[in-house]
Structure 1
Amino acid sequence: MNAADVMSSPAVSVNPGTTVRAASAMLGDHGFSALPVVDDEGRLVGIVSGADLLLAGMSPETANSPVARVMRGSVISAPVTATPAELTATMLSQRLRCLPIVAEGQVLVGVVSRSDLLRILTPVDAVLGARVEAALRAYSGGPRWTVSVREGEVSVSGPFSDQAERKVVEALVRTVPGVRGTQLAS
């Protein structure tokens, strides 16, 4: 497994002429911590983070200025062949929230975030179980049932008020993306 298997691609990026206002809107809309800055050939030339944009301020003059004025030109990136361990080590040692992934010639091909790395460390069934538990807690106001998951098959056990509640719980569990089947036990 390498960066190509972990990264989000294609990467959302801006060019040096993108306005600070537009870059700020993209960060907000996508929930990213930073945006790679690429030239017309797609080569990585910088990065602009939310912190960079906040430090620049949002005066009318700054909002319409190009990202090139506030971006950092010195960018830490990783090759598409980097292993998850190498990506993690780089991100932790450099205190990065995202890491641009480049191919030959510094061409941006993707971005790896902390959540991308966490996803490969967390078994799919564990993630699915946490999502089902969250949905059930939202419904019941607290933890009432025990959830277990094996290969997408969800088992919910615990007390049910009546048959109607069993049906509601079963329907709720089935709304969670990734659930392949449900089983309820009292």
Structure 2
Amino acid sequence: MRARDVMSRPVVSVDTRTGVREAAAVLAEHPFSALPVVDDGGGVVGIFSESDALRIEPGQDRLVTEVMTSPVEVVGPATDVRVIAERMLAGHLRNLPVVEEGLLIGVVTKHDLIRTVVRDDDVVKAELRHLLDDYAGSRRRWSLEVTNGATTIEGDFADIAERDVIGALARTVPGVCSVELIATEPTPLTWDD
């Protein structure tokens, strides 16, 4: 599973011209412990956290750029969630902005990661069943088993490309940690010309 599969969006952020009091109000309105700070071009330049807000004396209103954490760690949309979890734990981070081509597209929070761990297998199976039924036009072509996130999909695949698509679809479902594909009839090993 990748950052793009679990990240929170739309992203709530503040820009470099935002005052600390305004940023603190944004934090109070949303269930986040920190906000990305972006420049005029949408690039992440820092993180403004609850701790930053608490350091400000009453009546004092400085810009977030004066108190934010910078430089900030970011990840790409294809970063594996295990790598993200390791970086969060090692750096004592509560979230990591997800950046693509220099622009903020999402945020992965600890809460996002925890949701992938505790998802019930029945929920994962139901979501995957829905995806596969949509793909196959509601024809049940594959049987599914999900045990502790380990997913087995068994059935007929038209060719290697379809098998790869089914595997990729399965990996988009939060809670799927591995995918095994079993063809009940031999899958052609070459492309048709």
TM bucket, shorter chain: 0.5 to 0.7
Q: CA 1:93/1:46 → structure 2, altered by over 3 Å: closer, same or farther?
A: same
The whole-number CA distance in structure 1 between the counterparts of 2:24 and 2:95 is 17
For residue 11 of structure 1, what is the aligned residue in structure 2? 11
1:29 Cα deviation from its structure 2 partner: 1.0
Deviations 1:123-146 (A, max 9, x none): 23689xxxxxxxxxxxxxxxxxxx
Deviations 1:83-108 (A, max 9, x none): 11011111111111111111122x11
For residue 101 of structure 1, what is the aligned residue in structure 2? 98
Runs of 4+ in 1 over 2 A off after TM superposition: 123-127
Deviations 1:136-162 (A, max 9, x none): xxxxxxxxxxxxxxxxxxxxxxxxxxx
For residue 2 of structure 2, what is the aligned residue in structure 1? 2
For residue 72 of structure 1, what is the aligned residue in structure 2? 69
Aligned AA for 2:91?
Answer: Q
For residue 42 of structure 2, what is the aligned residue in structure 1? 42
For residue 27 of structure 1, what is the aligned residue in structure 2? 27
Q: CA 1:88/1:17 → structure 2, altered by over 3 Å: closer, same or farther?
A: same
For residue 146 of structure 1, what is the aligned residue in structure 2? none
SS in 2 for 1:96: coil
The whole-number CA distance in structure 1 between the counterparts of 2:27 and 2:121 is 30
Aligned AA for 2:4?
Answer: A
Q: CA 1:69/1:119 → structure 2, altered by over 3 Å: closer, same or farther?
A: same
Equivalent residue in structure 1 for 2:110, among 83, 107, 114: 114
For residue 54 of structure 1, what is the aligned residue in structure 2? 54
TM-score (norm 2): 0.60
Deviations 1:25-66 (A, max 9, x none): 111110211000001111001111010111122x32x22x21
The root-mean-square deviation of aligned C-alpha atoms, in Å, is 1.8
Aligned length in residues: 124
Aligned AA for 1:47?
Answer: I
The whole-number CA distance in structure 1 between the counterparts of 2:110 and 2:14 is 21
What stretches of structure 1 of length at least 5 have no aligned partner? Answer: 128-186
